[in-house]
Amino acid sequence: MTLEIAIFLSMNGKAREAIEFYKKNLEANELMVVTYEDLARRDSSFEITNENKNYISHSVLQIGKTKLMIAEDVMNPKESYKIGNNTSFCIQSANLSEIKRFYYNLTSDRKVNIIVPLDKNIFSEAYGIIEDPFGIQIQLMYDNRLI
């Protein structure tokens, strides 16, 4: 499989609590957890404090065949957290051209808002975030681990 879509939840400082809740009540398997402190080790420009160092930058749980991603922050840093903007979905593929094609297809529609342009970052060769005409935030990410 080279393509999957996962649910992504932003938890406003309660990501660890949410992870434990889903592990306990939905028998979720914890596949990955990256804290802000872990992220700062990879990217020296990322600032951590005593208050946020244990916050979750990214996590992946598996519930049955579905992946659930949980982090602290909303996708658009210009927005403050509120119920409604705390859910997005993430299209991931091990095929870089597929991610680029989806991104360019989506952004060719003038009603799509680009939140983060598709570009290389510390965890992916291609990552971007858009908001579709219906207010749904969509992350697009190349992930060669899906091969």
Asked if residue 147 is part of any domain, the answer here is no
Specify the pTM. Answer: 0.73
Q: Is the pLDDT of residue 84 over 70?
A: no
Number of domains into which the chain is organized: 1
Instruction: Confirm whether 101 is domain-assigned.
Output: yes
Domain at 34, CATH number = 3.10.180.10
For residue range 15-74, what is the model confidence (pLDDT) as tens digits? Answer: 999 999 899 987 899 999 999 999 889 888 888 889 888 999 999 999 888 899 999 886
Contacts of 134 (CB under 8 A, 6+ apart): none
CA angle in degrees (0–180, nearest 5) for 101-127-41: 160
pLDDT tens, position by position, 5-15 = 889 998 888 89
CA atoms within 13 A on the CB side of 121: 17
In a domain, 72, yes or no: yes
Residues in contact with 41: Cβ distance below 8 Å, sequence separation at least 6, in sequence order: none
Does 103 fall in a domain? yes
Residue 24 lies in a domain: yes
> For 119-143, what is the mean pLDDT?
90
The CA distance from 51 to 54, in Å, is: 8
Residue (of 75, 60, 56, 48) closest to 17 by Cα position: 56
DSSP per-residue codes, 39-66 = HHHH-TTS---TTTTTSEEEEEEEETTE
Host domain of residue 8: 3-142
Alpha-helical runs (H) found in 27-141: 36-42, 96-107
